[in-house]
Amino acid sequence: MSLEKVFVIIPAYREERLLPLTLRGVPDWVSGVVVVDDASPDGTSPAALAVGDPRVEVLRHPENRGVGAAIVTGYERALARGATILVVMAGDNQMDPADLPALLAPLREGRADYVKGERLRHPEARHMPLLRRLGTRALALLTSLAAGQRLTDTQCGYTALRAETARSLPLPSLWPRYGYPNDLLLLLLFRGHRVAEVTVRPIYAGEASGLRPWHFFRIAWLVVSRARKRRREVRQTVQSETLPAPDPGAA
């Protein structure tokens, strides 16, 4: 695609140490990088700028709004800059840039509108903490049941989205914190968009995770409640589109 412009969005919170490694790994063919610092109390923003990559733009939320809100901010900025494909990578260097071409392949080949990384079938999945693996499988099952499509790893943050698909979505309405990927999946699938999964390498080197056991229950509640909300929205849209047009000769 000669006119393709791939932008990488990196939501970052307290990633002063690992964010530079992430940025240095972004392939040269990526057109732009938008780092969204979600009001980090450390030197996350200066660390991103210190890398010296002219493709990198740093945006900073004045207050912490959540990883989902940071991604939406990055999406909106990348769209304004003419992106055709929106990739999300975490700022903690846990996503392998070598997997990016495979992640983009379903979009480039016209087979999907949104692609998620899938870690659990990778040979190195055994390096993921056991509780994270179990929680990931359970949330994938719950989200699959709610969405009506089998998904293996709903929580992976390594994703790629068509720009035209993003423009068709009510991005500001998406859940702003943990649970954002589940809400986005429900929104996409209920609207008939095609979702694909691609196996990617999980990278774990002892970093502390921001996820906590109670997040599992919050996300489970979110999946159920947001599934109802998204179904209701789709029904209302369908009903409004099928209502007969008013007869101008009536009255």
Tell me if 100 sits within 8 A of 26, measured CB to CB.
Answer: no
Query: What is the mean predicted confidence (pLDDT) over 47-57?
Result: 98
Query: What is the mean predicted confidence (pLDDT) over 216-236?
Result: 86
Q: Return the pLDDT at 185.
A: 96
Question: Average pLDDT, whole number, for the chain?
Answer: 91
Q: How confident is the model over 109-148, as pLDDT tens digits?
A: 999 999 999 999 898 888 888 878 888 899 999 999 999 9
Q: Return the pLDDT at 211.
A: 57
Tokens 């990088």: give the residue: 33
Domains of the chain, start order: 6-239 (3.90.550.10)
Residue 24 has pLDDT above 60, yes or no: yes
Give the C-alpha separation, 82 to 76, whole Å. Answer: 10
Q: If DSSP codes are grouped into helix, strand and coil, which group holds residue 195?
A: strand
Q: Return the pLDDT at 111.
A: 97
Tell me if 39 sits within 8 A of 11, measured CB to CB.
Answer: no
Q: How confident is the model over 187-213, as pLDDT tens digits?
A: 999 999 999 999 999 987 555 555 566
Give the C-alpha separation, 50 to 8, whole Å. Answer: 18
Q: Return the pLDDT at 206.
A: 54
- Candidates 60, 162, 42, 71; CA nearest to 113 is 162
Q: What is the DSSP letter of 208?
A: P
Length, in residues, of the chain: 251
Residue 63 has pLDDT above 80, yes or no: yes
Q: If DSSP codes are grouped into helix, strand and coil, which group holds residue 80?
A: helix
**pTM value?**
0.87
